[in-house]
Structure 1
Amino acid sequence: MARIAVVGAGPAGCSAGYHLAKSGHEVTLIDKSAFPRDKVCGDGISLESVQALSTMGIYPQDLRRQLAEYAPIRHFFLGVSNQISHSEATTLEAYCIPRVFFDQFLYDKALSAGCLPLVQLVHKHTPQLQHLSETFDYLIDARGVYAGQVTAIAIRAYWTLRRQERLELDLTEAQIHFDRHLGATGYGWIFPVSTQGEYVKFNVGLGVWLDDRPKTTINVIRLFEQFIRSNRQACHLLSKAVHRDIPQVYPLATAQKGNRVSERNILKIGDAANLTDPLTGEGIANAILSGLYVSQAINMSANPAAAAKNWQYLYQSRFEADLRAGLKIKAFRRFSLMNTVLIWLMKQNPRVARQISHAVAGLVPYHEVFASLKY
């Protein structure tokens, strides 16, 4: 069995560590911070992510029972700010969980499988990675966005309200608002993340893609403030808030064409491999699955060179078709009024509404969306 270092203990690293340790390998799970530690993001666990987590033996009832903050999601809302919107119910339940709790849960799961923890900062530059790659048989690079290529910028804030101030629908609905101020492919969101007590918490934020505008012109804090002032739902939510956290900005490494994810015995997964959804910015599902598939690449290979080839093949066969389809849809949305037309179609046709909502939730792959609408 191999000696393996997994650098980064987010969802991708914990998934890889879990599966490799379960396979009998000696796995050292390295992270720059001790747990619990926060990760700035939207906190949504999509339907695709729910399915991916089952490969680690993690199910919604486990998270609901064991985590302090949790919000089930039974409705998906798409809207163009203050113009047109559609809310679609789903019989399958997604959820939102603050990452400080979610990542701790995954980390504990990886340690229980046999991973050895190590707190160590591994810089972006290569000397440390080179040393680790020489020390271990395999190095799994799961350092997240800073090891990938930044393609988007987002911002998130937590708002707390009294439960009685919100309708029950608000507490189970994930809202996405397209907004012209955020570019053709940017959007704002309002997600409930803790709904079990007298006070409820919402994650409010937005994401903008760098190819919509020059990076030097993006002031994401100013865009966030503008979105809050101009969007009716966000403005109303703010008026009821009893506490607001300071907004935090973070980068995203979304999908790119023709990505290389392996070099010698160094294998990239998760955000380090630019596996984040190019439309929604959701990265957990592909992170979890990349950890599973990279473990399969190692287990089916006689040596690191073969594992590198097998991981590149699995990346291309398991992820690339859907990522390319997402990039095509993203390019299509650049045409004026496409977001409005999309939601208008959802309001007119229940089948279209269901398929698009399921695609946004990760249940229907992007490359199957248009084909599925024919039947």
Structure 2
Amino acid sequence: MHAGRRDDADVIVVGAGPAGSATAHWCASAGLDVLLLEKASFPRDKVCGDGLTPRAVAELARMGVDTREDDGWIRNEGLRVVAGGRSWELAWPDLASYPSYGMARSRATLDHLLAQHAQASGAKLLERTKVTGPLLDERSGRVAGVTAQLLDGRGRADGETRTYRAPVVVAADGVSSRFATALGLTRRDDRPIGTAVRTYYRTAGTPRHEDAFMESHLELWDGAPGASTLLPGYGWIFALGDGTANVGLGSVSSTPARQSASGHDYRALMDAWVRSTPAEWGFTPENQVGPVRGAALPMGFNRTPLYRDGAVLVGDAAGMVSPFNGEGIAYALQAGRVAADAITQARTRTTDDARERTLATYADRMRADLGGYYTLGRWFVRLIEHPAVMRACVRHGLPRPVVMRFVLKLLSDCYEPRGGDWVDRVIAGLTRVVPAA
């Protein structure tokens, strides 16, 4: 750093979604000065299924987030799988590593709560602050901070561009990650990409109110069921416990090129699927709350490297969504914890080279923990892209109890990494022997 220049923080976090707020919380808890910059103002919405697997609940517990049911949280007992005219209720696995329940909460309130949790830990949150690009050190080219634009209540520029300096910047700014893109860290074309659409329905007085199971429908037809293509993906119904349910669907492609070539109209698919649901569920235009909104799901570490020259990528900015189920919150929270540990440890190193090596351990740890699982997920997507394979899995695989055990543990990423039953050991063994993503 040049003489006379002072840093504004020890670390700047760009984006206050789950990944950014988790990073900010853990860094602030370790005594670092943290600036958390968010372009919107809370509460604000994000397109998501709003479901939290036991893996995500475990991360919230580590953070000390209060998840009492009388504070807006709803617990669920497991996953209900619907396919081929049948349904199976699969309880979450009873594991030492994760709790035996999942949860649900709308992103509008979840993200706000996590940002407030980061503030309570000591992070400084600046809302309506849009990061416009990285600030680079003139001599080394290393990231030295960010440039940002203040926004008014309508999201328009309000005032001059500001500069904030820090030795480490965490990009948690979502799937597009303009910050990472400005550094030349572009999305990979050899990784899966998903598309999800969702809306909300009022459910009070219907069978869908406060459902104890998260529900997944594994048959999505691009047209009349049985008369057209069976898509790789699923529809979901997640009760939120507040008189509404999150209802949506998602589909996945092995590469962005295959997704572009598919030409599916996901809003039309959503409309057709919802209209086919039983009338007593109440999924009607009169009960719909808000529009159908869509978003891309970046999967399997689709932007790398996860660390370079003072920039750390977490959550959707790094493509940390699971190719198996479209889940991203658990990995976003985990990435924030692991990134904060590397950043905190780097502060104790006495040379630039040692600090860089320590910061780079973040990428190594994330790849070691998730790389094999994401590789299996890529292979899984390539298989189910073939309608015949997808049809065989639904018709012949799901009715078998052993297959269902694998499905639950793989789709939820809830298995014992060491020990556990034989299903856990098989999955864990496969993640270790395949090439890491």
- Please indicate the TM-score interval, normalised by the length of the shorter structure: 0.7 to 0.9
Paired residue type of 1:177: H
Q: 1:119-157: CA deviations, max 9, x gaps? A: 21124x656987529821100000011217492221111
Which runs of 5 or more residues in structure 1 are unaligned?
none
Q: 1:268 to 1:77 in 2, by over 3 A?
A: same
**Structure 1 length-normalised TM:** 0.85
Aligned partners of 1:215 and 1:250: how far apart in 2?
A: 17
Distance 1:77 1:132 in 2: 45
Distance apart, 1:206 and its partner CA: 0.9
Give the Cα–Cα distance (whole angstroms) in 2 for the partners of residues 48 and 77 of structure 1.
18
Q: 1:151 to 1:213 in 2, by over 3 A?
A: closer
**How far apart are 1:317 and its partner, in Å?**
1.3
Which residue is 1:330 aligned to? 381
Greater Rg by CA: 2
C-alpha displacement of 1:340 = 4.9
Partners of 2:428 and 2:19 lie apart in 1 by 32
Structure 1 partner of 2:407: 356
For residue 84 of structure 1, report the CA deviation from its aligned partner.
4.0
How far apart are the structure 2 equivalents of 1:251 and 1:127?
Answer: 28
One-letter amino acid matched to 1:76: L
Matched, 1:186 2:233: yes
Tell me which amino acid in the other structure corresponds to 2:357.
A
User: Alpha-carbon deviation of 1:222?
Assistant: 1.4
1:122 aligned residue? 131
- Offset at residue 276 of structure 1 (A): 0.8
- Structure 1 position 342, deviation (Å): 4.1
Alpha-carbon distance in 2 for matches of 1:126, 1:190: 40
User: What is residue 200 of structure 2 aligned with on the other side?
Assistant: 158
The aligned counterpart of 1:222 is 268
What do you get for the CA RMSD once the two structures are aligned? 3.1
Distance 1:342 1:369, change over 3 A: farther
Identity %: 21
1:244 corresponding residue in structure 2:
288
Aligned to 1:139: 169
3-state DSSP of counterpart to 1:295:
helix
Residue segments in structure 2 that go unaligned for 5+ positions in a row: 1-6, 95-99, 137-142, 148-163, 178-185, 223-228, 430-437
Secondary structure in structure 2 of the residue aligned to 1:171:
coil
SS of residue matched to 1:326: helix
Counterpart selection for 1:282 from 327, 334, 338: 327
Report the CA distance shift for 1:285/1:239 in structure 2 as closer, same or farther (over 3 A): closer
Q: Distance in 2 between matches of 1:109 and 1:257?
A: 29
Aligned residues: 359
Aligned partner of 1:371 in structure 2 is: 426
SS at match of 1:146: coil
Q: What secondary structure does 1:87 align onto?
A: strand
- Aligned letter for 2:78? H
Choose which of 255, 269, 279 in structure 1 pairs with 2:314. 269
2-structure distance, mates of 1:316, 1:331: 21
SS in 2 for 1:209: strand
Residue 120 of structure 2 is aligned to residue 77 of structure 1: no
Supply the distance in 2 between the matched residues of 1:183 and 1:258 (Cα, whole angstroms).
29
Which is further off, 244-253 or 182-191? 182-191
* Matched-pair contact (CA < 8 Å) for 2:208–2:245: no
**Per-residue deviation, 1:18:** 0.6
> Does the CA contact (< 8 Å) of 1:322 and 1:365 recur in 2?
no
